[in-house]
Amino acid sequence: MVENLKSVWRRNNNIRGNRGLIMANPIEQQIKTELLSEIEAAEKNYVTIKDVLSGAQYDVTDVKGILQSFKDNLSKVSFSFIMLSQRYSKDAKPSQIPIDSFLGA
């Protein structure tokens, strides 16, 4: 699941070339870097979750932390996609994004 998300992201950026998400702005480059970092972190957590589901022994507290971290990674990835899609949408209109849900409030 997470591996597919990462490969789709990279494939779309390679295919689109100049028509895709051009990250010339330093802020946009930072968003892209953070997005890829969160996807990689989610991948690592996903591998551990698969290990737990296959019967590997982990402490319950560790599993709880891994699940929470995975959830946080996916929330950050989702937020980054929303922000980038909003920025590059032709019909971009200010949207009401409930940011509190992304900040864990």
Domains of the chain by residue range? 1-7+26-88
What percent of the chain clears pLDDT 70, i.e. is strictly above it? 61
Judged by average pLDDT, the poorest of 19-23, 31-35, 48-52, 89-93 is 19-23
Residue 105: pLDDT band by 50, 70, 90 thresholds?
A: very low
79 versus 98: the higher-pLDDT residue is 79
- The amino acid sitting at 101 is S
What is the C-alpha to C-alpha distance for residues 74 and 8, in angstroms, rounded to an integer? 15
* Higher pLDDT, residue 72 or 16: 72
Alpha helices for 2-98 (secondary structure H): 2-16, 26-53, 60-88
